[in-house]
Structure formats: C-alpha cells, structure tokens
C-alpha cells in the first residue's frame, strides 16, 4: 500500500514539474515576442507620424510608453528566475505567470491602438485620389443645382411654405457646401505639399464631409417631391376611410367619447383645403390619421362597454353598504375579544380596511353624504372593491369566531365553562362562560368576606 501511495505522489509531482516547465517556456517565448512587437510598433509609429502628424498618433505613442514600462517589470522577473539565489517552485510559477500576463496585455494593447490608425493611414495615403474624387463630385453636384431649384419652384406652386420649410434653403446651402468642399480640397493639397500632414488630413476630412452633406441636401429636394405625391395619394384613401367611419359611427353605442371623436374627425375633414389651393399633405395626413384613430378607439371602447353592462349607482351603493356592515361587525367582534383573536383574523381585517380606504378615495364615500355620482368608468372597479371588502370582512369574522371557540375554557360538569352550554351557537357559549365567571366571582367574594 505504501508503494502505491508513493508511486501516485511521484506521478503527481512529475505532472506538476511538466506544467511548470511548459509555463516557463511560454513565458520566455512571450517575452521575446513582446519585445519584438515593441520594436516593430515603434517603426510603425514613426511611419504613422510621417503620414498623419503627432496629434492622431498620440494614443499609440502613449500605449507604447506604457508597454515599455510594464515589459521592464517582466524582464526583471525573468532575471530573478535566473540569478544565483535559489527559488521555490511556487515563486517560479508565480513569476512566469506574471510574465505571460504582462506580455499578453502588451500585445493586446498595441493591437488595439495600431488597428485604430489603419483607417486614417489608408485615407492619408490615398489623399490625391480622394481629392480628385471630391472635385469630380463637386462638379457633378453643381450641375444638379439648377434642376433642384426648378423642382423647388414647381413644389412651391403646389404646396404651402410650411410644407416646404425643410427644403426651401437646400439649393443655397448645397451651393455653399460645394464651394467649401473645393476650398478645403485645395487647402489639403497645399498643406500636404508643405509637409503639414496633420493639417492636410483635417482639411481633407472637412472636404469629404462637405461634399457628402451637399449631396444629401440636393437629394432631399428630389425625394420630397416623391414623398409628397405618396402622401397625397394616402390622404385621399384616408379621407374615404374616414367618411366611412363616420357612417359606421351612427350604429355605435351612444357615448360621449364617441360623440367627441366624431366631432374631431368632422373638423379634421372640414379643415382640408379646397381643390386647387396649396396644401401641406404631411400635416393634413397626420391630423386626419389621429382623428380617425381616435374615432376607431372610441367606437371599440363603446362596443366593449355595451357588451359588458356597467353597474348602476344603486348597485354600487348597495355593495358599499353591505361591505360597511360586514366590516363593522368584524371590527366589533375582534375589538371585543383582543386577547382571543389570532393574527389571521386581524390581517384579514386590516386588509379589508385598507381596501375600504382605497374605495373611499375612488368614489368619495362619506358617512354623512353617502355615495356621490360615480363615473361610469369607475363603477365596475368600485363595486369590485366593495365586494372584496365584504369578502375579507367575512373571512375575518369567521377566523375570529374560530379563535374564540378555540380559546373558550373547557371542562366537565359543574365547571363554570359549562354554565351556558344550553346555547349551541358561539354567542350562547360565550355568554355562558361570562355568567359562570360572575357566579364564581360571587362565591369567592362571600368566602373572603
């Protein structure tokens, strides 16, 4: 048996030694790779600064400095692993793990920073090609300006100024942006020729963005005409549907909400401009859709309400009166037998009183004035709360009676607890107990006197 345990221990130690050797090998390889990566990244930083300047490369420069600092710690740990002072396996394992961690962090950080510069460097190297493309785009956009102005004049004859306010200034703004894009492209060329790469790249970005915005403004004028035609077509369909809804509303159950929705839809239809006048199809379509949706919702609510009868004010009043009566009985019984009532009955009573307070806030119930006029949309909720109060009060009373029956003194013939046994209900038993107590008290008074 001793040989078996010894062999298992030797096998475990051999496996641990193999893991430590593998970790040491990986730490050395990672340290060499990270040192080489620092050298390569330093060269890349020099090229990036030549292409972009010192501003855009600041993050990579800071990351390279941080990596060099932490790799210095890794080299110190590696030196400790090979000095003349013997180390324990645990110390070697901890150092090698730290070296591998530092090298992995350095590789990840440099990868992230160099990847962020790939796009700007690629753009900077293609600067002459991009500038030529910006000038071609500017010339093409300038040729589209007369057509955009003609489209705007045609739209102004058909639609109101309010409808066109988003695109009225588009041709003028686009012309300014085109000029700015060409000017920025010229600046980028001059700065690049002068060796001011960072300023040249900033001017190139401004030129590219200006050309893009100018194209968007011109496209918006042409797109508006199509969208306006689509809105007019949709508006005609919505008008026809709204008139059909007004006819259908006559068969809907009578309701103030339906009447108000019908009036709102009629006003929206009446506010439509006459044929031949300037219109704002987008605003008119929005207003008519909202009125139409309001009427649909009102009719649906009225039909749902008609399918589910609403309680009358008398039903709500009777429900509240019944709840108050049952709550009063339960409250009196529990208050008169405080030492005999358990937690369940008191909890039911407290919950009933809380819901009764919610009912008070909902319908404005007062002891002197009774129930005020309850809105139709509140009657069903009020009746449900009243029934819940009555149910909880009834449960509290039942639980209280159970606690009283369990707490009543029990005994054989001649005991005071049997004085009222002739009554079989709880009240008779309780009264019998009380009378028996009076009898015992009188006898004791006579003895001590």
pLDDT value of position 211: 94
Q: What tokens appear for 10 in the block? A: 């030797």
Q: What is the pLDDT of residues 310-343, one digit of tens each?
A: 777 888 888 888 888 998 999 888 888 878 888 9
pLDDT value of position 209: 93
pLDDT value of position 14: 65
Taking the C-alpha atoms of residue 233 and residue 139, their distance in angstroms, rounded to an integer, is: 36
Most confident option among 114-123, 127-136, 174-183: 174-183
Mean pLDDT, the chain, rounded, equals 81
Taking the C-alpha atoms of residue 345 and residue 394, their distance in angstroms, rounded to an integer, is: 10
Model confidence at 50: pLDDT above 50: yes
Model confidence at 448: pLDDT above 70: no
pLDDT value of position 248: 84
Q: Regarding predicted confidence, which is higher, 204 or 364? A: 204
Mean pLDDT over residues 340-356, rounded?
A: 90
Mean pLDDT over residues 196-225, rounded?
A: 90
Q: What is the pLDDT of residues 79-130, one digit of tens each?
A: 888 777 777 888 888 888 898 899 999 989 988 888 888 877 777 777 888 8
pLDDT band at 421 (very low <50, low <70, confident <90, very high): very low
The alpha carbon of residue 226 and the mean position of all alpha carbons in its chain are separated, in whole angstroms, by: 36
Model confidence at 202: pLDDT above 70: yes
Range with lowest mean pLDDT among 56-60, 231-235, 388-392, 437-441? 437-441
| Rg, C-alpha atoms of the chain | 45
Residue 323, classified by CB atoms within 10 Å of its CB into exposed (0-12), middle (13-18) or buried (19+), is buried
Mean pLDDT over residues 443-449, rounded?
A: 34
Q: What is the pLDDT of residues 261-314, one digit of tens each?
A: 889 988 988 888 888 788 889 999 999 999 999 988 888 888 877 777 777 788
Number of CB atoms found within 10 A of residue 222's CB? 15
* Contact in structure between 34 and 71 (CB atoms under 8 Å): yes
What pTM was computed for the model?
0.53
pLDDT value of position 81: 80
Alpha carbon separation from 136 to 123, 201, 214, 216, 221 (Å, rounded): 18, 19, 13, 16, 21
pLDDT band at 170 (very low <50, low <70, confident <90, very high): very high
């Amino acid at each position: 048996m001793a040989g078996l345990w010894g062999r298992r221990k030797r096998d475990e130690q051999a496996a641990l030694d193999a893991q430590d050797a593998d970790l040491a090998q990986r730490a050395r390889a990672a340290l060499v790779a990270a040192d080489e990566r620092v050298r390569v990244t330093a060269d890349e930083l020099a090229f990036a600064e030549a292409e972009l300047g010192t501003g855009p490369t600041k993050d990579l420069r800071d990351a390279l400095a941080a990596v060099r600092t932490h790799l210095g710690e890794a080299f110190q740990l590696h030196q400790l692993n090979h000095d003349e002072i013997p180390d324990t396996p645990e110390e070697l394992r901890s150092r090698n793990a730290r070296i591998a961690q530092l090298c992995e962090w350095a590789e990840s950080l440099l990868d992230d920073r160099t990847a962020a510069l790939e796009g700007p460097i690629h753009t900077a190297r293609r600067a002459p090609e991009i500038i030529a493309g910006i000038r071609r785009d500017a010339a093409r956009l300038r040729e589209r300006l007369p057509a955009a102005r003609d489209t705007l004049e045609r739209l102004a004859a058909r639609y109101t100024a309010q409808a066109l306010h988003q695109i009225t200034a588009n041709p003028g703004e686009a012309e300014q942006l085109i000029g700015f894009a060409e000017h920025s492209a010229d600046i980028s060329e001059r700065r690049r020729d002068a060796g001011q790469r960072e300023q040249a790249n900033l001017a190139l970005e401004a030129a590219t963005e200006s050309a893009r915005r100018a194209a968007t403004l011109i496209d918006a004028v042409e797109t508006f005409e199509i969208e306006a035609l689509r809105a007019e077509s949709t508006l005609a369909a919505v008008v026809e549907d709204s008139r059909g809804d007004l006819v259908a509303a006559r068969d809907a159950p009578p309701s103030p909400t339906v009447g108000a929705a019908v009036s709102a839809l009629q006003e929206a239809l009446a506010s439509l401009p006459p044929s031949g006048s300037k219109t704002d199809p987008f605003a008119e379509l929005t207003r008519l859709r909202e009125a139409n949706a309001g009427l649909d919702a009102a009719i649906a609510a009225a039909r749902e309400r008609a399918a589910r009868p609403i309680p009358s004010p008398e039903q709500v009043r009777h429900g509240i009166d019944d709840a108050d009566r049952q709550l009063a009985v339960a409250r009196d019984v529990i208050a008169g037998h405080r030492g005999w009532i358990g937690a369940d009955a008191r909890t039911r009573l407290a919950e009933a009183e809380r819901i009764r307070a919610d009912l008070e806030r909902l319908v404005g119930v007062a002891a002197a004035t009774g129930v005020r006029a309850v809105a139709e949309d509140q009657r069903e909720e009020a009746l449900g709360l009243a029934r819940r109060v009555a149910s909880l009060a009834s449960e509290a009373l039942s639980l209280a009676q159970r606690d009283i029956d369990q707490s009543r003194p029990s005994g054989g013939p001649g005991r005071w607890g049997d004085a009222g046994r002739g009554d079989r209900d709880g009240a008779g038993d309780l009264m019998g107990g009380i009378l028996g107590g009076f009898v015992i008290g009188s006898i004791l008074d006579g003895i001590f006197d």
